[in-house]
Amino acid sequence: MTTAERSAGDLLARKPRRRTRIGLVAGGLGAYWPQFPELLPQLKRSAARVSERLSALDCEVVDVGFISDPPEGAAAAERLRAADCDLIVGFLTTYMTANMLVPVAQRSDAPVLLLNLQPTEAMDHASFDTGAWLAYCGACPLPEMANTFERCGIPFRSVSGYVEDDRAWGRIERWVRAAGIRGDLRRGRHGLMGHLYPGMLDVSTDLTLVTANLGGHVEVLEFDDLRVRAAAVTEPQVDERMALTRDLFTIEDTVAEDDFRWAARVSLGLDRLADDFELDSLAYYHRGLEGEQHERLGAGMILGASLLTARGIPAAGEYELRTSLAMLITDRLGAGGSFTEFQALNFSDDVVEMGHDGPAHLAIAEGKPILRGLGTYHGKRGWGVSVELEVRRGPVTTFGIAQLRDGTFRFVASRGEVVPGPLLQIGNTTSRVDFGCDPGVWTDAWSATAISHHWALAVGDILPQLRNVADLLGIELVEVAP
């Protein structure tokens, strides 16, 4: 493909991900099969349909078939253990004993979701005999599984409904998506480049705790890793990046040509950095002095970091590793997620104004984002171009990750609504969020959760999905709704 044939869409091509891998095992009590010859074929048809519907959720299904007794359950457990699944789905087609599924849950090293999906909405009581009833009896072993899982120290979660029940499948899809996010975090490579913004004690993150709480690897990077890659960019490549950027952004008259070229060069360097280190997220900061090269790199990051974020590699400034991880989660939920902090409280309109002069997620913009030139970045050295956008109006979710004194992480989230009104024009992602209460009361409740002073702002009400993600990760979720 030639330069002329490339488009802004190519610039935003998302990083490929491993498909979510779901292990499926269906089962029932083998004592029934000789008693009711038509039962097992019916149950296997339901199991095949469940496998088909799971595959339609954009995931890879490892179907180990139907089990009828504990030895078959143990064999299925070994196959699923070797498959490296993100979620194990146990389909209770009829009554089955707990010892058939416990080995699967214990050995798989993946969370387990039990399905109780009967063939149709209800039995035909007038015509059903015992064999026909048993196909609707998946609810019977569900409490048995719950009690046994509790006593074995296995987290319990289930979805009940019928095979073609769209309400049940909506809940199942949330678990599948949450499992994919858990997998992304466990396999993730998260860049941390530069150094802590001096004095931001809330922002500092114990890197070991990222692996302990979420999994994955933190790759510690130097700004020199970016410097050498930006230096290798050619002038024609800079010209191409600038042309594609003009397609994506409204370029304000305040943008100086030299600053624009530098931001484009740094953007290309960031792309190479992300590729070379196989990054899934990035947090960065460097203070610099008197216009030296590292200061210029730090000041030239916002365009490239915003484009990385739009590609599904979220980037956050001020060394905010936990916020870049929060942005990764909201991005994987299809809700965008921009680097955000408080701007001010508006007691006239009862809204909280929030934003930041760092990377923005283009997917949450109301209209075309703006590239604006700044003479200075507040509280930071350097100058150059910044991304400014208004967050799309409607429901939003604020979401962040707190590190607590005991070394655990806590998820913090709140739902609100972006409403119209005057916004600052200072190169920030900005929004006016109505949380349905006094903005002062909300701010106090939000701050009392021990959240840091940055978080992700995502579009839509994603609290239900965040509950699933928190459950699979074993992390507390605090929902702020004063």
**Residue 82 domain boundaries:** 20-185
Tens of pLDDT, residue by residue over 95-105, are: 999 999 999 99
Angle at 134 between CA 128 and CA 135, to 5 degrees: 90
> Which of the given ranges, 10-14, 48-52, 389-393, has the highest pLDDT on average?
48-52
Q: Is the dihedral of CA 264, 265, 271, 273 positive or negative?
A: negative
Q: What is the pLDDT of residue 378?
A: 52
On whether both 249 and 211 belong to a single domain, the answer is yes
What average pLDDT does the chain have? 93
For residue 67, list its beta bridge partners.
27
pLDDT above 80: residue 382: no
362 belongs to a structural domain: yes
pLDDT above 50: residue 318: yes
- CATH number (domain holding residue 91): 3.40.50.10940
Task: Count the domains in the chain.
Answer: 2
- Chain centroid to CA 66: how far? 33
245 belongs to a structural domain: yes
What is the enclosing helix (H) or strand (E) of 316?
strand 315-316
pLDDT above 60: residue 380: no
Tens of pLDDT, residue by residue over 239-297, are: 999 999 999 999 999 899 999 999 999 999 999 999 999 999 999 999 888 778 898 89
Tens of pLDDT, residue by residue over 72-82, are: 999 999 999 99
Of 3-7, 80-84, 189-193, 335-339, the range with the lowest mean pLDDT is: 3-7
243 belongs to a structural domain: yes
pLDDT above 50: residue 129: yes
Q: What is d(CA 29, CA 142) in angstroms, rounded to the nearest whole number?
A: 14
Per-residue confidence band for 4, with pLDDT thresholds at 50, 70 and 90: very low
On whether both 47 and 105 belong to a single domain, the answer is yes
On whether both 96 and 131 belong to a single domain, the answer is yes
Residue bearing the bigger pLDDT, 381 or 66: 66
On whether both 180 and 192 belong to a single domain, the answer is no
The DSSP annotation for 72-137 comes to: HHHHHHHHHHHTT-SEEEEEE-S---GGGTHHHHHHSSS-EEEEEEESSSS--TTT--HHHHHTT-
On whether both 207 and 266 belong to a single domain, the answer is yes
Q: What is d(CA 340, CA 352) in angstroms, rounded to the nearest whole number?
A: 12
- Is residue 355 within 8 A of residue 431, CB to CB? The reply is yes
What is the enclosing helix (H) or strand (E) of 339?
strand 338-346
361 belongs to a structural domain: yes
Per-residue confidence band for 48, with pLDDT thresholds at 50, 70 and 90: very high
On whether both 409 and 341 belong to a single domain, the answer is yes
Q: What is the pLDDT of residue 427?
A: 67
Q: What is the pLDDT of residue 5?
A: 45
Looking at residues 231-244, what average pLDDT do you find? 96
On whether both 221 and 336 belong to a single domain, the answer is yes
9 belongs to a structural domain: no
pLDDT above 50: residue 1: no
Tens of pLDDT, residue by residue over 408-443, are: 999 999 999 999 998 877 767 889 999 999 999 999
- Is residue 22 within 8 A of residue 51, CB to CB? The reply is no
On whether both 151 and 243 belong to a single domain, the answer is no
The DSSP annotation for 390-438 comes to: EBPSEEEEEEEEEEPTTS-EEEEEEEEEE-------SS-EEEEEE-SS-
Of 4-13, 158-167, 229-238, the range with the lowest mean pLDDT is: 4-13
On whether both 194 and 337 belong to a single domain, the answer is yes
What is the percent of the chain with per-residue pLDDT over 70, rounded to a whole number?
A: 96
Residue where one domain finishes, among candidates 185, 202, 219: 185
On whether both 176 and 192 belong to a single domain, the answer is no
Tens of pLDDT, residue by residue over 337-364, are: 999 999 999 999 999 999 887 788 998 8
What is the percent of the chain with per-residue pLDDT over 90, rounded to a whole number?
A: 83
Looking at residues 156-160, what average pLDDT do you find? 97
- Chain centroid to CA 439: how far? 27
On whether both 130 and 221 belong to a single domain, the answer is no
- Is residue 117 within 8 A of residue 160, CB to CB? The reply is yes
8 belongs to a structural domain: no
175 belongs to a structural domain: yes
Per-residue confidence band for 8, with pLDDT thresholds at 50, 70 and 90: low
Residue where one domain finishes, among candidates 185, 217, 249: 185
Q: What is d(CA 89, CA 39) in angstroms, rounded to the nearest whole number?
A: 21
- Is residue 250 within 8 A of residue 370, CB to CB? The reply is yes
Token pair belonging to 336: 């965008």
Q: What is the pLDDT of residue 388?
A: 85
Q: What is the pLDDT of residue 375?
A: 64
On whether both 385 and 451 belong to a single domain, the answer is yes
2 belongs to a structural domain: no
pLDDT above 70: residue 461: yes
pLDDT above 70: residue 83: yes
Angle at 345 between CA 305 and CA 303, to 5 degrees: 10
Residue where one domain finishes, among candidates 185, 211, 240: 185
- CATH number (domain holding residue 345): 3.20.14
Q: Which residue has the tokens 């530098």?
A: 262
Q: What is the pLDDT of residue 162?
A: 98
